[in-house]
Chains A and B, each alone.
Chain A
Amino acid sequence: AQKVTQAQTEISVVEKEDVTLDCVYETRDTTYYLFWYKQPPSGELVFLIRRNSFDEQNEISGRYSWNFQKSTSSFNFTITASQVVDSAVYFCALSGRGGSEKLVFGKGTKLTVNP
């Protein structure tokens, strides 16, 4: 069975601080995808990144960066120089490759960035 654990329920930082959101996953699949989605207070789910299990290269997109480590089954997300607009719930998710590719979500981390 697939499982995603986001141990941090809530994080509060002051603007301009860096923050890392942790994600640990479990799967028996040899090929899979990992995702991060953002859910702002308005409620929609915004896609941030998809990572293939064969690609362990770290990725940077502006102030966002992702660290994928297969050895520790982790896919952590760092926001550099956080801003108030980053305040949201962030979900890590996992899907197998092939078949329905349904998403299995973690419980989410609520990030509050204070001015």
Chain B
Amino acid sequence: EPEVTQTPSHQVTQMGQEVILRCVPISNHLYFYWYRQILGQKVEFLVSFYNNEISEKSEIFDDQFSVERPDGSNFTLKIRSTKLEDSAMYFCASRADQMEQFFGPGTRLTVL
């Protein structure tokens, strides 16, 4: 069964460093998302991406964040200069037209 994959599963970084989180959505899906979940809290929407551009972003998704689909398979989230409060689980999701979102297993980001 096709699934969304994410790498790495756990990333530890120093404050101020850049990180790139990688996702491979399900191959025939057209809509891509990033969400984050701070430990013990609810899942929050960051950004959605369709037709090679951002379709919607939340107030969390400030200038420090960017997304890219560099080729036909990968979908990346870059945080330019990490802060302590960026520590969270980051989930990638994808969906086909008018279907539910399927989530990847997440990348746990720890900023020291």
Question: Could you tell me which A residues sit within 8 Å of B by CB distance?
Answer: 33, 35, 37, 43-47, 50, 91, 93, 99-108
Contact = CB atoms under 8 A, between A and B. Distances in A.
Interface of B: 31, 33, 35, 41-45, 48, 50, 55-56, 58, 89, 91, 93, 95, 99-106, 108
Contacts of B48: 100-102
5 contacts: A43-B108, A93-B43, A103-B35, A103-B45, A103-B93
B105 A43 contact: yes
B100 A100 contact: no
Nearest to A91: B43
A50 B96 CA distance: 14
Contacts of B35: 103
The 6 closest A-B pairs by CB, nearest first: A100-B48, A100-B56, A45-B103, A105-B43, A50-B100, A100-B55
Nearest to A108: B42
A93 B91 CA distance: 15
Contacts of B95: 101
Contacts of B103: 37, 44-47
B33 to A, nearest CB: 7
A102 B45 CA distance: 7
Nearest to B41: A107
A35 to B, nearest CB: 7
Contacts of A37: 103
B42 A101 contact: no
